[in-house]
């Protein structure tokens, strides 16, 4: 059976980016355009609910902040790989987005005078992290969802797992996948699509993200001929809790937390004497790993080494008020109370700077010049090149709001035009359906003997943790790439042990593993080829940034043999690259 569902705009992903996009279409569309909001997990379990520390915006020019300063911090933080046109447009849009959420009921934390509070964050030279205690993402999601409920012309498709994308003659036609409740094949047909499927960092084991953050959107687009951009830049957040990798928000350093080594020394003074613990994440993560490598780390029973974050001097009242969730997490997952004990941490895989190649307007592109008609990407999955080689904390939820609003508006305008001119045809889905059904039902669900997918996943993630972590080198990466190719071969023979169609997570995990192998191979190929160090990509064998050769974006195209790379220029407007010191 094939379930066919028609809507004007298909929003794939219901995190902050997807919800913001849907709202923009509905509030400006005056009931003329319908929206499907599709998610493989229940809407409110989208990964965005886990965002903790804040959302960046320039709110107080009278106190010294400015658009230029926010833009400069972002560009410097990106190690000059950000496209500066995107950065300027982004910073100018953010104050409006924050106030819009305020009007929609967002319970932002406030100053004693009632104005919105903002806290410091790494790499920002002004306190511009707007926050709701340490549960910012949760409250943003609630606020957006509440707003969405005001509109009628949308439908919610929770627990629909999308496996591929339909494009015909360069035009978006829809998505295909599985209705998880009954295991039946489903085709969503739409005039426009917005992919907002989040990040890829589950390809690492020691990481901050939910189990479903498996790079689906990047892989689906890549297989449909849309390149992945700058995927070698994967962010390691400095403070992952030992031994799980669960995030301890940068808000904790924003509130004044110290990083200390085994001797109790605040070591950041050696690496970033001005910004100290509030240097950007790539700088802090490298400093922590250097301390560990040079013997000033602490052995953990898990075998991993770590340093500490120390919050004790903040005092009980402040920790309970501002870092309530963090205290709870530390007590549950580490077994110590940050009010009385330092907390063991080490860098943890966190955020995907790269993603689906889009133009500065977040419309998907086949190459440097050609847009995919009717398709946009928003949020973490998109790479319009806002973050370059290293994202600043709080610029992600901000990008979700900004790119959600931007793509929603464009999709709406596009659909209204298409409807007026009747320029688009209903897709002939049958050819696509047969091919995709064969792949996921016969080749994956149908295979009863072969490789164990969980063993492949474990090997992949353990290898990524060692070969593509904070410090990289050529030989190790070559070995890692070889391993990925071997795992890809083994994946072709992977078996499903559960034969049911209803809620068959064994089957879905295997499909996700295919996505993970794709994004890992793209990351590894881009990282091995980029013979320089920039932002989160640091190589011992090429420790310097090389602007002459490498001030360019990587585009990775799908071929059956593996990614084929090409490069495109970075948009430089106000600031030429210079030495990056903090």
Ligand X SMILES: Cc1cc2nc3c(=O)[nH]c(=O)nc-3n(C[C@H](O)[C@H](O)[C@H](O)COP(=O)(O)OP(=O)(O)OC[C@H]3O[C@@H](n4cnc5c(N)ncnc54)[C@H](O)[C@@H]3O)c2cc1C
Q: How far apart are CA 128 and CA 124, in angstroms?
A: 7
Nearest distance from C-beta of residue 237 to ligand X, angstroms: 8
What interhelical angle do 505-529 and 453-467 show, nearest 10? Answer: 30
What residues between 150 and 169 interact with ligand X by CB under 6 A? 160-162
Q: Judged by CB under 6 A, does residue 50 bind ligand X?
A: yes
Q: For residues 38 and 292, which CB has a smaller minimum distance to ligand X in the complex?
A: 38
E strand segments, 209-254: 228-229, 234-241
CB of 243 to ligand X, least distance (A): 16
Least Å distance, CB 387 to ligand X, is: 10
Q: Looking at beta carbons only, is 178 or 551 nearer to ligand X? A: 178
Choose the catalytic residue: 237, 286, 472, 545: 237
Binding mask 191-220 for ligand X (x = CB under 6 A): -----xxxx--------xx---x--x----
Span between the terminal Cα atoms of the chain, in Å: 59
**Does 504 engage in binding with ligand X (CB under 6 A)?**
no
Report which secondary-structure segment, H or E, holds 166.
strand 160-168
Q: Cβ-closest residue to ligand X?
A: 15
3-class state of residue 382 by DSSP: strand
- Residue 508 as a binder of ligand X (CB under 6 A): the answer is no
Q: How far is the CB of 481 from ligand X (least distance, A)?
A: 25
Question: Do the Cβ atoms of 406 and 446 come closer than 8 Å?
Answer: no
In this structure, the strands spanning 552-557 and 228-229 are antiparallel
Q: Is 194 helix (H, G, I), strand (E, B) or coil?
A: strand
Burial of 63 (0-12, 13-18, 19+ CB in 10 A): exposed
Cα 25 to Cα 19: distance, rounded to the nearest angstrom: 10
Check if 300 is active-site: no
String of b and e for 115-143 (b: at least 16 CB within 10 Å)?
ebbbbbbbbbbbbbbbbbbbbbbbbbbbb
Is residue 38 involved in binding ligand X (CB under 6 A)?
Answer: yes
- How many residues bind ligand X (CB under 6 A)? The answer is 45
State how far the alpha carbon of 43 is from the alpha carbons of 197, 200, 230, in Å.
12, 19, 29
Tell me how many degrees the CA angle 440-411-408 measures, rounded to the nearest 5.
95
Among 6, 27, 28, 41, binds ligand X (CB under 6 A): 41
- Interaction of residue 518 with ligand X, rule CB under 6 A: no
Whether cis (ω within 30° of 0) applies to the bond prior to 243 is yes
Interface segment toward ligand X; rule CB under 6 A; list 1-9, 182-190, 257-265, 377-385: 377-385
Q: Does the active-site annotation cover 142? A: no
The answer to whether 521 and 558 are in contact (CB under 8 A) is no
Q: Which residues have CB under 8 Å from 115's CB, separation 6+?
A: none
Based on the shown chain and the rule CB under 6 A, indicate whether residue 16 belongs to the binding site for ligand X: yes
Query: Of 48-56, 57-65, 252-260, 305-313, which part binds ligand X (CB under 6 A)?
Result: 48-56
Q: Which is nearer to ligand X, 199 or 238 (CB)?
A: 199
Q: Give the footprint of ligand X on residues 539-578 (CB under 6 A).
A: none
Q: Which of residues 336-355 bind ligand X (CB under 6 A)?
A: 350-351
The residues, ordered by sequence, that sit 6+ positions from 103 with a Cβ below 8 Å of its Cβ are: none
Identify which of residues 18 and 95 has a Cβ nearer to ligand X in the complex.
Answer: 18
- Report in angstroms how near the CB of residue 155 gets to ligand X at its nearest: 14
Among 39, 74, 239, 385, binds ligand X (CB under 6 A): 39
In angstroms, the CA 140 to CA 398 distance is 11
d(CA 108, CA 102): 7
Helix (H, G, I), strand (E, B) or coil at 452: coil
Question: What is the length of the chain?
Answer: 582
Binding mask 392-411 for ligand X (x = CB under 6 A): --xxxxx-x-----------
Q: Which of 253, 306, 322, 327 does the annotation list as catalytic?
A: 253
Interface stretch with ligand X, choices 51-59, 62-70, 102-110, 472-480 (CB under 6 A): 51-59
CB of 508 to ligand X, least distance (A): 9
Rounded-to-integer distance, Cα 404 and Cα 24, Å: 8
The footprint of ligand X on residues 80-139 (CB under 6 A) is 136-137
Contact pattern for ligand X over residues 215 through 254, marking x by CB under 6 A: -x------------------------------x-------
358 near ligand X, judged by CB under 6 A: no
Catalytically annotated residues: 237, 253
Applying CB under 6 A, the residues found at the interface with ligand X are 12-18, 38-41, 46-48, 50-55, 136-137, 160-162, 196-199, 208-209, 213, 216, 247, 350-351, 379-381, 394-398, 400
């Amino acid at each position: 059976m094939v379930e066919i569902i028609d809507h004007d705009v298909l929003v794939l992903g219901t995190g902050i980016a997807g919800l913001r996009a849907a709202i923009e279409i509905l509030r400006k569309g005056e009931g003329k355009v319908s929206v499907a909001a599709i998610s493989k997990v229940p809407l409110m379990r989208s990964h965005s609910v886990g965002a903790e520390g804040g959302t960046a915006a320039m709110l107080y020019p009278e106190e010294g902040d400015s658009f230029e300063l926010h833009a400069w911090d972002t560009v410097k933080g990106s190690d000059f790989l950000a496209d500066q046109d995107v950065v300027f447009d982004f910073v100018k849009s953010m104050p409006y987005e924050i106030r819009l959420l305020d009007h929609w009921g967002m319970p932002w934390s406030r100053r004693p005078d009632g104005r919105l509070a903002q806290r410091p964050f790494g790499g920002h030279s002004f306190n511009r992290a707007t926050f709701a205690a340490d549960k910012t993402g949760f409250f943003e999601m609630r606020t957006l969802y509440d707003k969405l409920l005001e509109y009628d012309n949308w439908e919610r498709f929770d627990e629909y797992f999308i496996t591929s994308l339909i494009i015909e003659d360069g035009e978006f036609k829809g998505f295909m996948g599985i209705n998880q409740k009954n295991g039946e094949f489903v085709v969503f047909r739409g005039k426009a699509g917005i992919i907002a499927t989040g990040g890829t960092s589950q390809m690492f084991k020691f990481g901050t993200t939910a189990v479903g953050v498996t790079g689906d959107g990047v892989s689906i687009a890549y297989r449909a001929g849309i390149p992945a951009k700058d995927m070698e830049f994967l962010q390691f957040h400095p403070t992952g809790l030992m031994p799980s990798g669960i995030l301890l928000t940068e808000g904790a350093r924003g509130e004044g937390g110290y990083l200390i080594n085994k001797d109790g020394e605040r070591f950041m003074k050696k690496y970033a004497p001005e910004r100290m613990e509030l240097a950007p994440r790539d700088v802090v993560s490298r400093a922590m790993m250097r301390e560990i490598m040079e013997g000033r780390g602490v052995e953990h029973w898990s075998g991993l080494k770590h340093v500490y974050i120390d919050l004790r001097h903040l005092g009980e009242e402040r920790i309970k008020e501002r870092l309530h969730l963090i205290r709870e997490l530390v007590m549950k997952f580490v077994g110590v109370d940050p009010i009385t004990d330092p907390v063991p941490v080490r860098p943890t895989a966190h955020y995907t700077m790269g993603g689906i190649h889009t133009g500065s307007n977040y419309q998907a592109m086949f190459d440097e010049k050609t847009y995919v008609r009717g398709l946009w990407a928003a949020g973490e999955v998109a790479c319009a090149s806002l973050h370059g080689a290293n994202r600043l904390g709080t610029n992600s939820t901000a990008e979700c709001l900004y790119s959600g609003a931007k793509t929603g508006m464009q999709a709406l305008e596009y659909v209204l035009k298409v409807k007026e001119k009747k320029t688009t045809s209903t897709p002939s889905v049958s050819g696509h359906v047969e091919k995709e059904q064969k792949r996921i039902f016969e080749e994956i669900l149908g295979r009863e003997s072969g490789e164990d997918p969980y063993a492949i996943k474990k090997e992949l993630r353990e290898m990524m943790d060692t070969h593509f972590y904070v410090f990289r080198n050529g030989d190790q990466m070559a070995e890692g790439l070889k391993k990925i190719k071997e795992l890809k071969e083994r994946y072709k023979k992977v078996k499903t042990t559960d034969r049911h169609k209803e809620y068959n997570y064994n089957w879905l995990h295997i499909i996700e593993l295919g996505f993970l192998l794709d994004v890992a191979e793209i990351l590894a190929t881009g990282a091995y080829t980029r013979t320089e160090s920039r932002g989160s990509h640091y190589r011992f064998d090429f420790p310097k940034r090389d602007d002459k050769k490498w001030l360019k974006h990587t585009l990775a195209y799908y071929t059956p043999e593996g990614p084929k790379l090409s490069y495109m220029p970075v948009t430089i407007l106000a600031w030429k690259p210079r030495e990056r010191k903090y």
